[in-house]
Chain A
Amino acid sequence: MAVELRGISKRYGQVLALENVDFTLERGEIVGLVGDNGAGKSTLMKVLSGAVRPDSGSFAVDGQPVNPGNPIGAREAGVEMLYQDLSLVDDLPTVMNVFLGRELTTRFGFLRFGEMRRHAQGIVDGFSVRGFSVTQPVGQLSGGQRQVSAIARSIGFGSRYVILDEPTSALSPNARQEVVEIISGLARSGIGVVMVSHDLATVRQICSRVAVLHLGRLAGVRAMTDTTQQELVSLIVDGHA
Chain B
Amino acid sequence: MRANNPPETAGAVDTHRFFPAWVADLPPLLGPTKVPLIAPATMLVLLAVVMAFTRGDFFSTGNLRAIALDASIIMLLGVGMTAVITARGIDLSIGAILILSTVVFAAALKDFGLPLWVAFVLCLATGAACGYVNGLLVTYLKMPDFIVTLSTELVFRGLALVYAGGAVFFGFPDFVKFIGRGRFLDIPMPVIISVVVVVVAHILFAYHRIGIRLHAVGGNPVAAARQGVNVVRYRIGSYVIMGLLSAVAGIVLMARLDAVVASGAVTLLLNTIAAVIVGGTYLFGGRGSIVGTFLGAWLLAVVSNAVVLLGFEAFWQHVAAGVVILITIGLYSRRTARLDG
Contacts and interface: CB of A to CB of B under 8 A. Distances in A.
A96 to B, nearest CB: 5
Contacts of B212: 92, 96, 100, 103, 111
B13 A122 contact: no
B3 interface: yes
A87 B6 contact: no
B25 A117 contact: yes
A83 B226 contact: yes
B209 interface: yes
Contact of B223 (A89, A103, A114, A158): A89
B214 to A, nearest CB: 11
A189 interface: yes
Contacts of B339: 140
Interface in B2-24: 2-8, 10-14, 22, 24
Nearest to B6: A122
Interface in A122-170: 122-123, 125-127, 131-135, 137, 139-140, 153, 155-156, 158
A121 B1 contact: no
The dominant DSSP class at the B interface is: loop
Contacts of A134: 11, 14
B13 A91 contact: no
Measured as residues with beta carbon below 8 angstroms from the partner, the interface class of chain B is 35 or more
A109 B6 contact: no
Given A109-B208, A110-B207, A131 B227 contact: no
Contact of A102 (B10, B14, B228, B282): B228
B50 interface: no
A5 B341 CA distance: 44
A89 B215 contact: yes
Contacts of B14: 121, 133-135
Contact of B3 (A83, A92, A123, A137): A123
B219 interface: yes
A61 B207 CA distance: 37
Contacts of A185: 1
B34 interface: yes
Contacts of B220: 87-90
Nearest to A158: B4
Nearest to A121: B11
Contacts of A109: 208-210
Contacts of B24: 114, 117
Contacts of A132: 13
Contacts of B1: 126-127, 185-186, 188-189
Contacts of B226: 83, 87
Given A89-B224, A109-B209, A111-B208, A100 B216 contact: yes
Contact of A92 (B32, B210, B222, B340): B32
A159 to B, nearest CB: 8
B287 interface: yes
Name, among A114, A153, A191, the residue most crowded by chain B CB atoms within 10 Å (CB to CB). A114
B10 A125 contact: yes
A101 interface: yes
Interface in B217-245: 219-220, 222-224, 226-229
A87 B226 CA distance: 8
A192 interface: no
Given A89-B286, A113-B25, A135-B14, A123 B6 contact: yes
B10 A122 contact: yes
A212 to B, nearest CB: 28
A92 B26 CA distance: 16
Interface in A167-187: 185-186
A11 interface: no
B201 to A, nearest CB: 14
29 contacts: A87-B220, A87-B223, A87-B227, A90-B286, A91-B215, A91-B219, A91-B287, A92-B215, A93-B28, A96-B212, A101-B227, A102-B228, A105-B209, A113-B207, A117-B25, A125-B6, A125-B13, A126-B2, A134-B14, A137-B33, A137-B34, A140-B341, A153-B227, A155-B3, A156-B4, A158-B4, A185-B1, A186-B1, A189-B4
Given A121-B14, A125-B10, A153-B227, 20 more contacts: A85-B223, A87-B220, A89-B216, A89-B223, A90-B286, A91-B34, A91-B215, A92-B32, A96-B215, A101-B229, A110-B209, A111-B207, A111-B208, A114-B25, A122-B2, A127-B1, A131-B13, A133-B14, A139-B340, A155-B4
Interface of B: 1-8, 10-14, 22, 24-28, 32-34, 207-210, 212-213, 215-216, 219-220, 222-224, 226-229, 282, 286-287, 339-341
Q: Pick the 4 closest A-B CB pairs, nearest first.
A: A122-B6, A114-B25, A122-B10, A133-B14
